[in-house]
């Protein structure tokens, strides 16, 4: 009962983002995703941030260590509202990095621990329950708590990046205000996936905490 509702929300969020992306990808834009990202970055004074094309679908991300915006081929090359929306969102992360946006600083600092916790923490909890080994279960709960904290911090980071993207696309004349509904649907659907992931992590942690009290 704790895990199924956020899992269902996650599946719904995945459906929403693919549906919204499909619709927005059919709407033409004046710039490609790469060109739109370049415009947003340059307007923010971030000429030092490079843009690279990578493989995969919706694999777009910003690398704060290398100061590189990596865009999937579909986003990098296409001139669609979906492409410019996603590209501008990732450019928003670069702007956050340049402005030392505090939630992003915290998120980046705990990425290594969260990466370990997402795997090791879960298995410690599972084995702790299987073998009724309380110390291992409590250790797993502690480690997985870092994952939950990461997800909670990640929410304002993603919401803020989308807000910056929406503002810049209109302010720079990349997307007319009348056509922003398509971009909004894509970015809002993407935000829903982060909400679902956070709820899944919180509910999973709560499940193990309740089991530990049995």
Residues with a catalytic annotation lie at: 90
What CA–CA distances, in Å, run from 41 to 47, 59, 185?
6, 19, 23
* Cα R_g (the chain), whole angstroms: 19
Residue of 68, 50, 69 lying closest to 60 (CA atoms): 69
In DSSP notation, 118-148 reads IIIIHHHHHHHHHTT-HHHHHHHHHHHHHHH
Residue given tokens 């919204």 in the structure block: 20
Handedness of CA 58, 61, 66, 67 (dihedral sign): positive
Using an 8 Å Cβ cutoff, are 143 and 149 in contact?
Answer: no
Q: Are 37 and 87 in contact (CB under 8 A)?
A: yes
3-state secondary structure of 52: strand
């Amino acid at each position: 009962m704790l895990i199924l509702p956020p899992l269902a929300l996650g599946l719904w969020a995945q459906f929403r983002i693919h549906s919204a992306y499909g619709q927005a990808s059919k709407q033409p834009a004046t710039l490609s995703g790469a060109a739109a990202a370049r415009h947003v970055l340059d307007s923010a004074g971030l000429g030092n941030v490079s843009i690279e094309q990578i493989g995969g679908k919706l694999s777009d991300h910003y690398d704060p260590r290398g100061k590189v915006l990596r865009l999937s081929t579909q986003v990098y090359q296409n001139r669609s509202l979906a492409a410019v929306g996603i590209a501008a969102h990732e450019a928003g992360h670069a702007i956050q990095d340049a402005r030392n946006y505090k939630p992003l600083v915290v998120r980046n600092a705990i990425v290594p621990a969260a990466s370990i916790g997402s795997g090791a923490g879960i298995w410690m909890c599972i084995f702790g329950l299987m073998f009724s080994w309380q110390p291992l279960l409590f250790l797993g709960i502690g480690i997985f708590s870092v994952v939950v904290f990461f997800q909670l911090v990640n929410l304002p980071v993603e919401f803020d990046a989308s807000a910056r993207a929406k503002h810049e696309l209109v302010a720079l004349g990349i997307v007319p205000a009348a056509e922003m509904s398509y971009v909004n649907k894509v970015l809002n659907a993407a935000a829903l996936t982060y909400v679902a992931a956070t709820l899944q992590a919180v509910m999973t942690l709560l499940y193990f905490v309740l089991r530990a009290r049995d």
